[in-house]
Amino acid sequence: MSSSKNRNARYKRGRSKSNSSPDANDPVRRVAADVLTDLQKQQGSLATLLPPALDRVPDADRALLQELTYGVSRWYFDLQEVLQKRLDKPLRNKDLDVHSLLLLGLYQLEYMRIAPHAAINLTVEAAQALRKPWARGLLNGLLRGHLRDREKEPPLAGHAHPPWIVKQLQNDWPGDWRKVLDAGNQRPPMVLRVNQAQTGTEQYSGLLDDAGIVHQQVEGVVSAIRLDKSCPVNDLPGFDTGLVSVQDASAQLACQLLLPELQASTETSTILDACAAPGGKTCHLLESSAANVVAMDISEMRLARVGENLERLGLENRATLLVADAANTAGLINEDEYDIVLVDAPCSGSGVIRRQPDIKLLRKPEDLHELAVQQLNIVDSLWPSLKPGGKLLYVTCSVFKKENVDVMKVFLAKHKDATEVRLQERSGGSLLATSLASEDGSDVPGRADYEPGAQLLTGVNGMDGFYYCLVEKTRIQDAA
């Protein structure tokens, strides 16, 4: 992928190769086509491509731009199947922007409430903005043909995921893979984390009632409230004063699994939050304990976001920000330094595809091996920094076993002073339904089929897909 510096410069220069230059207030479908074209070229993610693109459309069109780009990404593989059936021959590589417009047109016809004639006409007009008037006829004919014939066309497979992800889920979760795929295609809910240091979940629920915001508490996750409908954060009571933050219940569960240790902490306790950006778990750790937290991340830019979140919540005085590679901490952290280590490891993001649908286009099967190597390097690197008797919680937002149980099986085999702590009782029931513990005894350490940790599959109780494994460092006298 290109660097953010190069990417921003590219938008300032325009697209010289396609003879079209972006200007302020470009047609929203043309801007969406630019974003999707770069995404298909692996030249960025929605998180990096959308911010400069939003500056190119009027304020009134920003929500539409986000809907178009996220929507096409979510349903890309189904839309691509439709498009391939209707194209006589593939478009040239230099016309990938026209290909993106075709996908945008199909998405509007299939998934949006825009009147079909308006969706087609506005998409056709976007070809003119791309300075490719020859594409108007192709767009008009293909989209109108689909609108005319779609009731007669055979149904799609409907997975809307790349084949390699489907296969991986079938291998890992033969009884649940369809549910995971379906959940990955849904729009994610907006979930709040109530700051338990300032107010209780019940009390904050009352504030939402007073504000007319429909919601319900998330079963099993003490600090989580799910909204029936997303809203701007400034509409949330007490957001500016730190009463509440936005964070999925699965991410909140990480701190809940450490709650006994967090509640027992003192002002002299220290916690390391490795791979901390953007800082949701760092803030939750501080809200839940009296300890001080070192928030580590390899990206200085992303670590700045941690600082912003800490400042909003008034927690900056109890946190230290450390720019470092968690897989290579020699000379940066000391042995036996931390009471708790939270490793929110870099992963494929397969458990949060509903929130980041561009993962479907950006991730490749070979990434899993590379990520697993990196994940193991991180926990190996950080293990010496944990005090004897301390706890390390390994977390990923993945549902793939290669990044989860396989990594922790190797880790536990290498470190004889590491003992797994079972999580079911700490989870408030959230992990029981999809725990890797098995009635046939495969949850017993030492067995060849033993699978450490616990997995929450995407969509269970409306939550994102996360994996958790808690290990304790055996004290020296205990090991002896």
Assess if CATH 1.10.940.10 describes domain 4-149: yes
| pLDDT at residue 446 in the model | 57
| pLDDT at residue 124 in the model | 96
Q: Average pLDDT for residues 206-235, to the nearest whole number?
A: 97
Q: Per the residue annotation, which of 255, 283, 397, 469 is the catalytic one?
A: 397
Assess if CATH 3.30.70.120 describes domain 191-247: no
Checking if the pLDDT of 3 tops 90, the result is: no
pLDDT tier, 240 (very low <50, low <70, confident <90, very high otherwise): very high
Identify any residues that bridge with 273 across adjacent strands, giving them in sequence order.
Answer: 295, 342
pLDDT tier, 8 (very low <50, low <70, confident <90, very high otherwise): very low
| Averaged pLDDT of the chain | 90
| pLDDT at residue 26 in the model | 74
Checking if the pLDDT of 292 tops 90, the result is: yes
Residue labelled with tokens 């974003």: 35
Checking if the pLDDT of 301 tops 90, the result is: yes
| pLDDT at residue 424 in the model | 80
Q: Which residues contact 176 (CB under 8 A, 6 or more apart)?
A: 434, 457
Indicate if 347 belongs to the active site: no
Q: What is the DSSP letter of 20?
A: B
Q: Is residue 443 a contact partner of residue 436, using CB atoms and an 8 Å limit?
A: yes
| pLDDT tens-digit series, residues 393-422 | 999 999 999 999 999 999 999 999 999 998
Q: Average pLDDT for residues 442-457, to the nearest whole number?
A: 75
Q: Average pLDDT for residues 134-145, to the nearest whole number?
A: 96
Lowest average pLDDT, out of 18-27, 223-232, 256-265, goes to 18-27
Checking if the pLDDT of 38 tops 90, the result is: yes
Q: What are the structural domain ranges in the chain?
A: 4-149, 191-247, 250-479
Residue labelled with tokens 């009731």: 151
Q: Average pLDDT for residues 156-184, to the nearest whole number?
A: 94
| pLDDT at residue 437 in the model | 42
With a pLDDT cut of 70, the percent of the chain lying above it is 90
Lowest average pLDDT, out of 146-155, 179-188, 211-220, 415-424, goes to 146-155
Checking if the pLDDT of 442 tops 90, the result is: no
| pLDDT at residue 153 in the model | 79
Checking if the pLDDT of 476 tops 80, the result is: no
Q: Average pLDDT for residues 458-469, to the nearest whole number?
A: 95
Q: What are the tokens at 466?
A: 């996360």
Q: Which of 294, 353, 339 is nearest to 318 (CA)?
A: 294
| pLDDT at residue 226 in the model | 98
Which conformational region is residue 355 in: left (phi greater than 0), alpha (psi within -120 to 50 degrees), or beta?
A: alpha
| pLDDT tens-digit series, residues 39-55 | 999 999 999 999 999 99
Q: Average pLDDT for residues 115-142, to the nearest whole number?
A: 95
177 or 4, which is more confident: 177
pLDDT tier, 453 (very low <50, low <70, confident <90, very high otherwise): very high
In this structure, is the dihedral angle defined by the CA atoms of residues 365, 369, 374 and 378, taken in order, positive or negative? positive
| pLDDT at residue 23 in the model | 53
Lowest average pLDDT, out of 90-94, 181-185, 383-387, goes to 90-94
Q: Average pLDDT for residues 372-389, to the nearest whole number?
A: 97
In this structure, is the dihedral angle defined by the CA atoms of residues 404, 405, 408 and 410, taken in order, positive or negative? negative
Identify any residues that bridge with 300 across adjacent strands, giving them in sequence order.
Answer: none
Checking if the pLDDT of 204 tops 80, the result is: yes
Q: Which of 64, 59, 58 is nearest to 26 (CA)?
A: 58
Neighbour count for residue 183 (Cβ, 10 Å): 22
Assess if CATH 3.40.50.150 describes domain 250-479: yes
Checking if the pLDDT of 373 tops 70, the result is: yes
